[in-house]
Amino acid sequence: MGVQGNGFYEIAAREPDRPALLGAGAGGGAVSYGTLHAEVNRLSHALRETFGLRPGDAVATLLGNRPEFLTVLFAALQTGLYLVPVSRHLAPPEIAYILADSGARAVVTERAHAAVTAASVPGPHVPVLHVEDGWPDGPATPPADRRVGSVMLYTSGTTGRPKGVRRPLPAIPPEVLADVLRRGLARDLDLEPGDGVHLAVGPLYHSAPCVHAMTALNLGHAVVVAPRFDAAGTLELIDRHRVTNAFLVPTMFHRMLALPEDVRRSFDGSSLARVYHSAAPVPVATKQRMMDWWGPVLYEYYGSTESGAVVVARPHEWLARPGTVGRAVDGVEIKILDPEGRELPPGETGLIYARGQGGFEYHRDPAKTAAAMRGDLYTPGDLGHLDADGWLYLSDRRTDLIISGGVNVYPAEIEAVLLQHPAVADAVVIGVPDAEWGQRPIALVQPSPQAAPGDGLAGELLAYCAPRLARLKHPRRVEFRDALPRTPAGKLSRHRVRAEYLGESV
């Protein structure tokens, strides 16, 4: 069936009976584009007229993986609002910081997170909506003066405090942006309008899962929202709903490959045409095993929350160049620079920079914005090299960043918590290789003179981290050292610690 219209809103108006959400209705049935559109419109009116939000304001979500997230997303995208998705796995102080820093003027959550939401909102002036109560009564027709909004995702840095990635809001209707995006996606990711089915199994509060689900509805596809990732369950969902495209992370590949042989053999998977992956490096052998199992359907791309995808490797391109993460998409230029900003030739490793991606700024942090730029070139802080034909290969992530299960974990956040404990004189957190998660954080601690290092103190420190950090940021274990290496200026040499710990040369 052909799809008319530019993006979700026009498709919903012209083809209201088209399935939008599968397995999301009462009894696990489908929700149509028309029904979802009416919910989006009712929430849009409520955000404007009941709660008084205006273009440029922020609305936050604290939700599990559930279809209502998409209602809030498309309401924000047609009312000129910034949607701030907050991870439900964060600790209350972390949630409170994001809500306050973003200036969120309303929060959408669910009963399961009611207590932590109540403890985290800046004050009684910020209304809290629980999705179980339904959307406020209001017109099911589109609001007047529609204009495009955006998603403001929070990403951490070496300071340990996350910052919102904020993009300008042009005074255009959302259909204009949807048309630009769908033309770019057809060119770069081979995604086109039609009767596709997208599986959203990653957390929708993360960049790529959110963008892929949004893209699917802008293309007329149906979306299956999985509450959580389960290896066997994901295979079952793909077959049951005849999923055509999905976004996964390498940890999910590891877990599915580890399933019993009979479970893997029972998977048909013939509906899959495109499976996208990013967020973390994937070993060549792991990706080859997935291709052997699922066929040439894996599309890899590299980018960041700030830049979006800047290089793409289609399946046949990767098979011809195992290990590449892709070549620059149309309109983007990739350069490899040394620490002084000189461009390096093919084959030499340096800092990866990109030119031509959409503009952004770090919310309320112009210094951090400037630090990420060199002229009009932006760097996510990762190391890599280009070959003679312009294909990009990652050599390492930035030295302080830990990528665990496709999620960025910044050591400074963990170290800041550990250093608050009176038994800790100094602390450093490093990422060590892990077959399933890619990397896991390990804390090396120099105890204070009065403290007795050992299993008891290690357990005490892990318990201390529990209420203060998201679970994924908890150190896998704590080990003790007599001293930690620092430079004469007092800067911790994390590279040296990691190299010594792993037995590498410094």
CATH code assigned at 494: 3.30.300.30
What integer is the mean pLDDT of 74-88? 97
Q: CB neighbours (10 Å) of residue 477?
A: 13
What integer is the mean pLDDT of 234-262? 92
Is residue 309 included in any domain, yes or no? no
Partners of 302 in the β-ladder: 311
For residue 119, the surrounding DSSP H or E stretch is helix 114-120
Q: What pLDDT was estimated at residue 39? A: 98
Instruction: Name the band, by pLDDT with cuts 50, 70 and 90, for residue 401.
Output: confident
Closest by alpha carbon to 103, among 51, 162, 169, 164?
164
Is residue 436 included in any domain, yes or no? yes
Give the SS3 label for residue 180: helix
What integer is the mean pLDDT of 66-75? 98
What integer is the mean pLDDT of 3-27? 87
What integer is the mean pLDDT of 140-165? 86
**Position 398 pLDDT exceeds 80:** no
What is the sign of the dihedral through the CA atoms of 11, 15, 16 and 19? negative
**Position 492 pLDDT exceeds 80:** no
Share of the chain above pLDDT 70, in %: 94
What integer is the mean pLDDT of 17-42? 90
Q: What pLDDT was estimated at residue 160? A: 57
Is residue 269 included in any domain, yes or no? no
Q: Which of 199, 228, 257 is the last residue of a domain?
A: 228
Q: What pLDDT was estimated at residue 25? A: 60
Mean residue pLDDT of the chain comes to: 91
Q: Which residues of 302-334 are buried (b: 16+ CB within 10 A; e: fewer)?
A: bbbbbbbbbbbbbbeebeebeebbbbbbeebeb
Q: Which residues of 61-98 are buried (b: 16+ CB within 10 A; e: fewer)?
A: bbbbbbbbbbbbbbbbbbbbbbbbbbbbbbbeebbbbb
Structure tokens at 145: 């003066």
**Position 397 pLDDT exceeds 80:** no
**Position 311 pLDDT exceeds 70:** yes
Instruction: Name the band, by pLDDT with cuts 50, 70 and 90, for residue 506.
Output: very low
What integer is the mean pLDDT of 110-136? 95
Instruction: Name the band, by pLDDT with cuts 50, 70 and 90, for residue 26.
Output: low
Q: What single-letter DSSP state applies at residue 486? A: B
Instruction: Name the band, by pLDDT with cuts 50, 70 and 90, for residue 488.
Output: very low
Let me know if 415 is exposed, middle or buried by CB neighbors in 10 A (0-12, 13-18, 19+).
Answer: buried
Q: Which long-range CB contacts under 8 A does 370-376 form with residues at least 24 apart?
A: 372/306, 374/337, 374/341
Q: Say which residues have a Cβ less than 8 Å from residue 141's Cβ, sequence separation at least 6.
A: 41
What integer is the mean pLDDT of 374-399? 87
Cα separations in angstroms, 161 against 79, 95, 158, 373, 410: 29, 12, 8, 19, 9
**pLDDT per residue as tens digits for the range 212-247:** 999 999 999 999 999 999 999 999 999 999 999 999
Q: How far apart are CA 79 and CA 74, in angstroms?
A: 9
Answer yes or no: pTM beyond 0.75: yes
Is residue 256 included in any domain, yes or no? no
Q: What pLDDT was estimated at residue 255? A: 83
Is residue 245 included in any domain, yes or no? no
What is the CATH number for 55? 3.40.50.12780
**Greatest mean pLDDT among 197-206, 356-365, 422-431:** 197-206
**Position 351 pLDDT exceeds 70:** yes
Q: Which of 197, 228, 259 is the last residue of a domain?
A: 228
What is the Cβ-side half-sphere exposure of residue 186, based on CA atoms within 13 angstroms? 11
Looking at the structure of the chain, the number of domains it has is 2
Is residue 288 included in any domain, yes or no? no
Structure tokens at 313: 């490797």
Q: What pLDDT was estimated at residue 501? A: 87
Is residue 317 included in any domain, yes or no? no
What integer is the mean pLDDT of 470-495? 78
Instruction: Name the band, by pLDDT with cuts 50, 70 and 90, for residue 169.
Output: very high
Q: Which of 204, 228, 252 is the last residue of a domain?
A: 228
Q: What pLDDT was estimated at residue 182? A: 82
User: Chain centroid to CA 49: how far?
Assistant: 31
For residue 283, the surrounding DSSP H or E stretch is none
**Position 367 pLDDT exceeds 80:** yes
Higher pLDDT, 440 or 283: 440
Q: What pLDDT was estimated at residue 505? A: 44
User: Residue 54: which domain range?
Assistant: 1-228
Higher pLDDT, 414 or 52: 52
**Position 384 pLDDT exceeds 90:** no
Is residue 50 included in any domain, yes or no? yes
User: Chain centroid to CA 105: how far?
Assistant: 23
